Each structure stands twice: as C-alpha cells, then as structure tokens.
C-alpha cells in the first residue's frame, strides 16, 4: 500500500508541474492574457507587465522543481515541497476569492481557478496526512 501513497504524491507533483509551467509560460509570454481571463482587466503599465512576468518566472521555477521531484514522492524533500505547494494553493484561493468578492475583479477563469486551487490544496493535505500516517506506522 505504501507505493500507492508515493504514487499519489508523484501524481500531485506531475500535475502541479504541468499546470504551473503552463501558467508561468503564459504569464511570461503574454501577461495580460491570463490576467484578463482571471480578473477581467488588463495590465496597463510597464510595472504591472513586469510584475506579471515576475510571477510567471516564479511559476516556471515551481513547475521545474515539481517536475524534477515527481519520481521522489517518498523523500523528506518531497514532503517539504508538498507543504510549500499547499501554502501556495491556499494563498491563491484566498487572494483570488478576495479579488472576486472584495474587489469585483472577475474574469471567466477566476472561479474555475479557485476551484482548481482548492482541489489541489485538498490533494496536498491528503498526501501530507498519508505521509504522517506512514511515518507513525514505521
């Protein structure tokens, strides 16, 4: 049963790598497009375009690290990576929900992104809990 748990973490890291690399590439190449899809507005200044590309570079880095760690789901480093991905997903859910509910920034992709990041956060929690159970059982 333990290989299945590692397999779950491996799948989480693989899917996170694909999603965040795609988002990162989109933000680096054409930052106004994903921002318009998420928030219904464009990036108007060179500063906002630079910040959008900066966020894209960070997502690319996350994608690369998840891709490189995708076969190492049982390591302590992978546990730390999953915990960091959990923090990221929770932060995105809060920030995006606030943008939509508090600031009225709603694009066609905002609520699907909130749902996606909520599901990814839940998956991270499941992976972390199963690793804790495995560690106690050893």
pLDDT in tens, 84-105: 999 999 999 999 999 999 999 9
User: Contact, 128 vs 79, CB < 8 A?
Assistant: yes
Per-residue pLDDT of 12-50, as tens digits, reads 999 999 999 999 999 999 999 999 999 999 999 999 999
Neighbour count for residue 112 (Cβ, 10 Å)? 12
**Contact 115/96 with Cβ under 8 angstroms?**
no
pLDDT (0 to 100) of residue 7: 75
- Give which of 7, 135, 138 is closest to 71, Cα–Cα: 7
Q: Is the pLDDT of residue 137 over 90?
A: no
Structure tokens at 37: 């899809």
Q: What is the pLDDT of residues 41-70, one digit of tens each?
A: 999 999 999 999 999 999 999 999 999 999
Q: What would the two tokens of residue 123 be?
A: 């998956």
């Amino acid at each position: 049963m333990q290989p299945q748990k590692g397999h779950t973490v491996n799948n989480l890291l693989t899917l996170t790598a694909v999603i965040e690399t795609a988002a990162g590439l989109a933000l680096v190449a054409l930052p106004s497009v994903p921002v318009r899809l998420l928030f219904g507005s464009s990036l108007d200044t060179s500063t906002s375009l630079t910040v959008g590309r900066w966020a894209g570079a960070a997502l690319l880095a996350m994608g690369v690290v998840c891709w490189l760690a995708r076969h190492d789901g049982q390591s302590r480093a992978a546990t730390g990576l999953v915990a960091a991905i959990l923090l990221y997903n929770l932060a995105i859910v809060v920030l995006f929900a606030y943008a939509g509910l508090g600031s009225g920034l709603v694009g066609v992709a905002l609520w699907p992104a909130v749902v996606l990041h909520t599901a990814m956060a839940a998956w991270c929690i499941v992976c972390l809990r199963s690793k804790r159970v495995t560690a106690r059982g050893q």
